[in-house]
Amino acid sequence: MTPFWVALLIKLGVTTVLLIAISLLLFIVSWAERKQSALIQDRIGANRAKLFGVRAWGLWHNLADTLKLILKEDYVPPTGDKLLHTLAPFLAMFCAMASFAVIPYGPPVTLFGHTFDLQVAPLNVGLLYIFAMMSIGIYGFVLAGYASNNNYAFLGGLRAASQMISYEVTMGATIVGLLLCYNTLDLQQMVIRQGDLLWGWLPAWGLVLQPVGFFLFMAAGTAETKRIPFDLPEGESEIIGYYVEYSGMKYGMFFSADLLESILVACLAATLFLGGWQLPYLTAGGFLLPGGLTWALPHWLVVALQVGAFAFKVVLVSWVMMTVRWTLPRFRYDQLMKLGWTFLLPISLANILLTGAVIVALGA
Amino acid sequence: MAFVVARRELTWWENLYIGEIVRGVWITSRHFLVNLTRHAAHSVGLMRDKPALVTFQYPEQRRPLAPRKRTRHRLTKRADGSPRCVACMMCETVCPARCIYIVAKEVGNPNIEKAPQRFDIDLGKCVFCGYCVEACPEDAIRMDTGILEISELTRGEMILDMQTMLASSPTPATDHLQSAPGH
């Protein structure tokens, strides 16, 4: 039995690593988004901020922006609700951050005789927890619109609420197919089961078992995080958005919450559909190729490879989401609702039906 | 004239979005990869002839100005260095922004009669229409200095005086348009 203080230290270590990784990813994603859009549109992008005479391809612009946001006046509209207005960005940010707690970013690790999961909270209802957090996160955006006492902000908040709730239905329905396949809500267990091989050579990743589910999840996930082409809650030319009355770091928190949510969806997509930290044919003892070839690797190297594989997948999914963002025009609001309720939801329900039928037919 | 744009119905495949999204992602990704490769090649001195961007990096790199571009004013001079202006007030009269102020003085030469004592242009009011250049019978005022960045901290500093305008020279792009000296 692990003594309490050792367990505490381990938990702190696991949490710190995750927190640093997320902050770094947030930093890099907001930079990459600028530079990628610039290259796509034949521009250079932000490149003027200089630190110690080094421009570093505009990396410092994030620091400059953060500094600017912190130093700006924090304005609460006089007719607005001060408490809720202040609470909203914290709620949005908190829910986005807290959802990462159940993402397993590595295999079970043995260190000095103690075995632990590379996962902050090994919950057996991890997936439900994430959905709960996302649902509470909606309150942040609705409150922002409500507490500002501004019609435009209110419209933005309403749009955010109805959009996120609509697409959460699709997202939830998409996940059911996976639950039927893996029989668990525990994300770590789900990833471990994705290490199985079908017919001895095909990794049983969610993408292989639920190809339709993957596309539905990506579409619903993009809508859930309010990113282009589904960024209806914010429309600079029409309603501005739920954050119209926000300035300074509170606005920055909404901005980061949005980015964090998109990273979260990337993490979820990697965990649920792309095998999480699984590298094909890499088992705890080393590589085990389908032909019977084996290549033993030390424990630390296996862990490093698998954590690296997870990071790579998350970056890849984020990248795809950003590319789609800079490719597609936005939907109109009625098109968005039509797409969600009359197109994605029926397909996801049919997907559940088909998955269930196949599982019953196979007698599994 | 108003006319109706014939809209094409989307085909079944286009309505599915997926194929079209892949096509769009392919276009943006191609731009990204081509530009990234060119930037990387430029940084080691290769592929200099192939641009990776269509924008101008403004303070370091300027757009070429067309010769007829109207930029900050200057006053032309006679061969002896005196202003060509005869203070006829044509420009001051035609100026729609009323930003030109001329104080005339007499000169001894009966062929010239008048010359400006003061010739001020308030650049804070000037709309850069170029009417003053067109109205001038003596080709005394031109807008070909190539100076576009005009900013000062006070309104008073925005007023351009005669000495500065006489001291300005045309841009190389418009230099060949200089009329023959001494008329």
Asked whether residue A225 is domain-assigned, the answer is yes
Chain B CB contacts of A39 under 8 Å are 31-32, 35-36, 39
B110 and B33, same structural domain? no
B106 and B51, same structural domain? no
Instruction: Indicate yes or no: CB of A40 within 8 angstroms of CB of B28.
Output: yes
Map residue B105 onto helix, strand or coil: strand
Chain A CB contacts of B32 under 8 Å are 36, 39-40, 323
Asked whether residue B140 is domain-assigned, the answer is yes
A218: closest CA among A138, A274, A257?
A274
CATH number for the domain that contains residue B145: 3.30.70.3270
> Per CB distance under 8 Å, which residues of B are interface residues toward A?
18, 21, 24-25, 27-29, 31-32, 35-36, 39, 52-55, 57
Instruction: Please name the residue ranges forming H helices in chain A.
Output: 4-40, 61-71, 82-98, 126-147, 151-182, 187-193, 206-209, 211-224, 248-273, 299-325, 333-338, 345-362
B166 and B81, same structural domain? yes
Compare CB distances from B25 to A41, A215, A327 and report the shortest one's residue.
A327
B147 and B85, same structural domain? yes
| Contact between A334 and A159 (Cβ < 8 Å) | no
Predicted-assembly ipTM surpassing the 0.95 threshold: no
> Measured between CA atoms, how close is B64 to chain A, in angstroms?
19
pTM of the complete model: 0.84
Domain span at residue A183 reads 65-111+120-362
- Structure token digits, residue B90: 């044509």
Return the DSSP state at B153: S
Q: What is the pLDDT of residues B75-100, one digit of tens each?
A: 999 998 899 999 999 999 999 999 99
**pLDDT mean values, one per 10 residues, chain A (364 residues):** 82 91 91 91 87 85 91 90 92 92 88 82 88 89 90 89 88 90 89 84 87 90 85 81 88 91 92 89 79 81 91 93 89 87 92 92 78
Asked whether residue B133 is domain-assigned, the answer is yes
Domain span at residue B114 reads 74-175
A105: closest CA among A263, A324, A298?
A263
Asked whether residue A35 is domain-assigned, the answer is no
Asked whether residue A245 is domain-assigned, the answer is yes
Asked whether residue B2 is domain-assigned, the answer is no
Q: Residues 295..324 of A with a Cβ closer than 8 Å to B: which?
A: 320, 323-324
Instruction: Please name the residue ranges forming H helices in B18-124.
Output: 18-43, 90-94
Instruction: Please name the residue ranges forming H helices in A57-199.
Output: 61-71, 82-98, 126-147, 151-182, 187-193
pLDDT value, residue B1: 74
Chain A CB contacts of B52 under 8 Å are 42
Q: What is the pLDDT of residues A33-58, one digit of tens each?
A: 899 999 999 988 888 888 888 888 88
Asked whether residue B98 is domain-assigned, the answer is yes
B98 and B35, same structural domain? no
B98 and B171, same structural domain? yes
Tally of residues, chain B? 183
How far is Cα B29 from Cα B21, in angstroms, rounded to an integer? 12
Map residue A125 onto helix, strand or coil: coil
Using the Cβ of A334 and the Cβ atoms of chain B, whether some distance falls under 8 Å is answered with no
Count of structural domains, chain B: 2
Chain A CB contacts of B24 under 8 Å are 327-328
Chain A residue whose CA is closest to B32: A40
Compare CB distances from A44 to B18, B29, B53 and report the shortest one's residue.
B53
B110 and B24, same structural domain? no
> 10 Å Cβ neighbour count for A230?
24
Count of structural domains, chain A: 1
> 10 Å Cβ neighbour count for A41?
16
Asked whether residue A202 is domain-assigned, the answer is yes
Asked whether residue B85 is domain-assigned, the answer is yes
B99: closest CA among B143, B67, B145, B153?
B143
